[in-house]
Amino acid sequence: MRLPPHLGSIQDLKSRENRAFNTEAMWHDQLTDVYEYFLPQRNLFEIQDKGQKKMDRIFDSTSLTAIQQGASKLQENIAPIWARWATFNPSNEILNLLETGDFNVTEKQIRENLEKQAEIVFDYINRSNFGTQFYEAALDLLIGTATLKIDETEDDSMPIVFNCIPQKGIAFEEGPHGTIETHWRRFQVKARLLERMWKGFNPSNTVQNMIDHKPDSEVEVSEGVIYDPKDKKYYGCLWVKQEERLSWVEDFGNSSPWVTGRYTKVSGEVRGRGPAMQTLPDVRSLNKAKEFVLQKAAIDLAGMYTATDDGVTNPYNMVIAPGIVIPVGSNNTNNPSIQRLDTASSLSLAQFEIVELQNAIKIAMFNDLRDPAGPVRTATEIAIESRELAKRIGSAFGRLQTEVLIPVLKRVVSILIRRGLITPIELDGRDVEVKFTSPLARAQDSEDVLAVQQAVEFVLGTAGPDQVQMAFKIEDFGTWVAEKTGMSSDLVRDDAEKQRIIQAGAEAKQMEAQAQQPMAEQPPQLQAVQ
């Protein structure tokens, strides 16, 4: 398979990749620092040997534990494990077409079918490694940018596998509307894995010789997933460094296997910025303060000492450290041979500043909300916490829905359709719309429900029930609230059922009125007897 000619030659692709990585290089120093203090185990921006200690310069673990709890809080409220955090609903276009009567199906039948499709989709998502990899992605999101790679496997029981890609060695290209459309990745892979990782890999003679005779040797490759706006498809391509040919090309259709989300984004920048970047000055200050406190504690425990010396003490050669002996000309009037140097000082101010900095970091990482691993909470407590979290990250949640959750669903649906596991559906198109039902999404919807409730109560209290009926479509309230709260469509009546109930009620009232009419026409004496 070949790339469409209008996407350019191999030289054009390499030029695009180089420009993307040149832009990426501007973030190197900042990402090195923030990963060092928050996620040192994922800090690949600093060249280190495998197995090397990565926390030698960390003196306070608040940032390490805070970002882990923050990631757990994000996952719990955005894409909880073993939960269905989205539903599929018919689009407004389909609902409008149903009103014309040109379809042989009802709205309820469409909703029931989409309900079954959603169950299948989330069954495969939950049986995959999505939960563990989304947690890793949540860690990267709190720093700023996270990337998930969604691959199709040959296993029918688990056809989808997720992989959170480290940010080192990844570069991006944005489209005209600020969305990431193209991914580039530079990395090394063992020669024996090339044909397994990319189906249809076409090696050159040089690479084939490495596969046959040096299978464990490292091959440096460049991989790209490029969006083609002409045919609205994503194409994957791969080349080996120093070679002027493509070794692999694949058509991914309308869904990309690479999904990148950004917590927040500054105009003109490709990468995102997260709360970890914003609190980095506090983390640095806390780390330095904790280092000073630990040094002071070590000096207080081990002590520093002065010792008489017949020579002249050079202050420029003195080193202040626990247990050090400092040569001096004399030790007071008694002139002992050696004595301890008094280093007493108060640490109360330092401890106060440390606590303040620790609290600021915890708040930035949502640690002031209850720990998901803590005691069992009631539904009301969870709802309250979700509403509080929604207020704090509402704008970021909207971006994560657009850049992460919907692309993940599109890719999963595309794979399941191709495998024949679900019937063809479209997401956020003519046929299907995505309705998020995660705790954070429900918290945002609950604000809408609360606003409507307050409006109805106000009209009821000021103008009476007749005006409520006049001002609002009371008959549609139940369906609207059910959609906002994520209630199953099996529990919601469709329009046809509503009309039958309304008609039955009207007929019952009519029959009751007809039964009372002859009685009203009788003389009062007979009515009294009856």
423-470: pLDDT as tens digits: 887 665 567 888 888 888 877 777 677 778 788 888 778 888 777 777
Burial of 520 (C-beta count, 10 Å sphere; 0-12/13-18/19+) = exposed
CA dihedral angle for residue 444, residue 447, residue 449, residue 450, rounded to 10 degrees? 160
Here the tokens at position 95 are 């609902």
From 278, 306, 328, the end of a domain falls on: 278
**35-44, 100-109, 131-140 — which one is most confidently predicted on average?**
131-140
DSSP single-letter state for residue 273: B
**What pLDDT, in 10s, does the model give residues 214-249?**
999 999 999 999 999 999 999 999 999 989 999 999
| CA-to-CA dists, residue 370 to 365, 373, 375, 384, angstroms | 12, 9, 9, 11
Measured in degrees and rounded to the nearest 5, phi and psi for residue 224 equal -135, 145
Is-contact 263 275, C-beta < 8 A?
A: yes
From 247, 278, 309, the end of a domain falls on: 278
Percent of the chain with pLDDT over 90: 47
Is-contact 245 238, C-beta < 8 A?
A: no
**What pLDDT, in 10s, does the model give residues 26-37?**
999 999 999 999
Look at residues 378, 391, 372, 400 and name the one whose alpha carbon lies nearest to residue 76: 372
Per the structure, the complete domain to which residue 523 belongs is given by 496-529
Domain count for the chain, please give it: 2
Q: Is residue 473 situated within a structural domain?
A: no
Q: Is residue 508 situated within a structural domain?
A: yes
| Spatial separation of the C-alpha atoms in residues 445 and 448, rounded to whole Å | 5
Pairwise pLDDT comparison (353 vs 306), residue with the higher score: 353
**What pLDDT, in 10s, does the model give residues 495-518?**
677 778 777 877 777 787 777 766
Which contacts (CB < 8 Å, 24+ apart) does range 53-58 have? 57/287, 58/287
pLDDT-derived band at 160 (thresholds 50, 70, 90) equals: very high
Q: Is residue 288 situated within a structural domain?
A: no
pLDDT-derived band at 485 (thresholds 50, 70, 90) equals: low
Q: Is residue 32 situated within a structural domain?
A: yes
**pLDDT value at residue 361:** 94
Q: What is the mean pLDDT of residues 268-295?
A: 92
Q: Is residue 377 situated within a structural domain?
A: no
Q: What is the mean pLDDT of residues 174-180?
A: 91
Could you tell me how far CA 220 lies from the centroid of its own chain?
A: 30
Q: What is the mean pLDDT of residues 465-479?
A: 75
Provide the mean pLDDT of the chain.
83
Q: Is residue 135 situated within a structural domain?
A: yes
**pLDDT value at residue 210:** 95
- pLDDT over 80 at 262, yes or no: yes
Which contacts (CB < 8 Å, 24+ apart) does range 201-207 have? 201/238, 201/247, 201/248, 202/247, 202/248, 203/240, 203/247, 204/240, 204/243, 204/245, 204/247, 206/243, 207/240, 207/243, 207/247
pLDDT-derived band at 124 (thresholds 50, 70, 90) equals: very high
From 255, 278, 301, the end of a domain falls on: 278
Q: Is residue 303 situated within a structural domain?
A: no
The residues, any chain, with a CB within 8 Å of residue 197's CB and separated by 6 or more, are 189
Pairwise pLDDT comparison (419 vs 513), residue with the higher score: 419
Q: Is residue 324 situated within a structural domain?
A: no
**What pLDDT, in 10s, does the model give residues 342-383?**
665 666 767 888 999 999 999 999 988 765 555 556 666 666
Going through 153-285 in order, the beta strands assigned E by DSSP cover 160-164, 170-174, 180-190, 218-228, 233-240, 248-253, 258-262
Could you tell me how far CA 158 lies from the centroid of its own chain?
A: 22
- pLDDT over 80 at 164, yes or no: yes
Mode of pairing for the β-strands spanning 325-328 and 304-308: parallel
